[in-house]
A and B are shown apart, each in its own frame.
Chain A
Amino acid sequence: DAGVTQSPTHLIKTRGQQVTLRCSPKSGHDTVSWYQQALGQGPQFIFQYYEEEERQRGNFPDRFSGHQFPNYSSELNVNALLLGDSALYLCASSLWGLAGVGELFFGEGSRLTVL
């Protein structure tokens, strides 16, 4: 049973560029959440997708956008990259119907470096 898979694992971009990160949820899961983890910090919630709609959003600017596909996979897009966007981007999947009793399963993340 494959867990949460993310791609790419590492990437380097320059300021002002755009990046797309991809995530495939754990088999059977229908909800995808994205987190940003800066070096030495805890993960920070970016947004969550269920039924191809953004359900919740954290305190991140509109430069951060996402999408969920019918097969439940998801993309995170970041436009106009800033140096401060350098971080590990984590995708987590869950099952919406288990609200209150389910858990988040995290992928290993995509390490983004902005030069």
Chain B
Amino acid sequence: IAGITQAPTSQILAAGRRMTLRCTQDMRHNAMYWYRQDLGLGLRLIHYSNTAGTTGKGEVPDGYSVSRANTDDFPLTLASAVPSQTSVYFCASSVQADQPQHFGDGTRLSIL
């Protein structure tokens, strides 16, 4: 079934550790996005990529990095995790940047 696959589904991580959240889509969408969802703050954009080979900063990029080596994959890396990065992370994609976005099932990340 076509769609967006995120991995892992959930993770508990010690502070200071490095972590990469994976996101793969098979819809050949050009644009991809990472959001975090926090109680009381809603969903906020971390980073985005309008096309393979390009990335941009969203609303809350500090402490996160992304890469877009090909169309399908858009990994999100926490270089040195901190407790404030405890959140639910959603990956999304769209055909083009101004088209509707489709979301993966999310990764629940807890930093202790």
Interaction A to B: no
